[in-house]
């Protein structure tokens, strides 16, 4: 029987030590950069069972943003349905879609703002995570170590770059937006590790 492959799974606690916000802190800070209607919309979304973090909110906002495009917007403009929001009453649905689109854009911008990497943290990150990564290489007796993180920050990636460890995070820079976007094809080079 082959040796089991040990993987590392990291959440927000892995980066909070380096001054990156946890989800709760991120959402609270985001509220400070929103208008009152956007705050009400964000709070309404977060009140839905299962929508408790930025990823869930962004997933819903992306789906609703697609509704805001032609030909759906023509339908909503013609029939002018309303939606009832807490603290706002009835609002034209097309106006709500516009505010949701603004919320989506501000959420994305805030992710980039709050999780922008600070190079002065790299040495501290290496002190904390290098021994753990080296232990995984030793225990797995392989040249590939799997690290999974739910974080927007690049703590692990920057540590790997500093230590000359090749890393693929699955993201590539979009030439039009200059932002990194997930591309699952980036993982295809990995050999089997079992």
Domain boundary among 114, 137, 159: 114
In this structure, are 142 and 156 located in the same domain? yes
Do 27 and 73 share a domain, yes or no?
yes
Are residues 41 and 76 both part of a single domain?
yes
Claim to verify: residue 82 and residue 124 sit in the same structural domain: no
Per-residue pLDDT of 109-153, as tens digits, reads: 998 888 887 788 888 888 988 898 888 888 888 777 888 887 778
Could you tell me if 27 and 108 lie in one domain? yes
**Domain match, 130 and 93 both:** no
pTM, full prediction: 0.73
Residues 40 and 52 in one domain: yes
Which of residues 114, 147, 174 is at a domain's end?
A: 114
pLDDT tens-digit series, residues 6-51:
888 887 678 888 888 888 899 999 999 999 999 999 999 999 888 8
Give me the domain span that covers residue 64. 23-114
DSSP-derived secondary structure for the chain: -PPPPP-EEE-THHHHTTTPPPHHHHHHHHHTTS-HHHHHHHHHHHTSTT--SHHHHHHHHHHHHHHTSTTHHHHHHHH--EEEETTTEEEEHHHHHHHHHHHHHHHHHHHHHHT---GGGHHHHHHHHHHHHHHHHHHHTSS---EEE--SS-HHHHHHHHTT-----SEEE-TTT-SEEE-GGGGTTPPP--
For residues 53 and 93, state if they share a domain: yes
Residues 33 and 100 in one domain: yes
Same domain, 62 and 132: no
């Amino acid at each position: 029987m082959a040796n089991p492959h040990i993987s590392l799974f990291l959440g927000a606690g892995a980066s909070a030590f380096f001054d990156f916000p946890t989800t709760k802190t991120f959402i609270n800070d985001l509220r400070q950069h929103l208008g009152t209607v956007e705050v009400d919309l964000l709070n309404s979304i977060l009140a839905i069972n299962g929508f408790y973090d930025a990823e869930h909110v962004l997933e819903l906002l992306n789906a609703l943003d697609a509704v805001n495009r032609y030909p759906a917007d023509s339908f909503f403009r013609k029939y002018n349905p309303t939606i009832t929001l807490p603290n706002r009453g009835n609002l034209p649905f097309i106006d709500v879609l516009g505010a949701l689109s603004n919320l989506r854009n501000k959420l994305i911008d805030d992710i980039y703002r709050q999780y922008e990497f600070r190079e002065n943290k790299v040495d501290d990150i290496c002190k904390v995570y290098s021994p753990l990564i080296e232990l995984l290489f030793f225990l797995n007796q392989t040249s590939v170590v799997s690290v999974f993180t739910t974080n927007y920050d690049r703590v692990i990636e920057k540590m790997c770059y500093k230590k000359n460890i090749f890393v693929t995070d699955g993201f590539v820079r979009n030439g039009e937006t200059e932002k990194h976007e997930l591309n699952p094809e980036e993982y295809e080079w990995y050999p089997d590790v079992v």
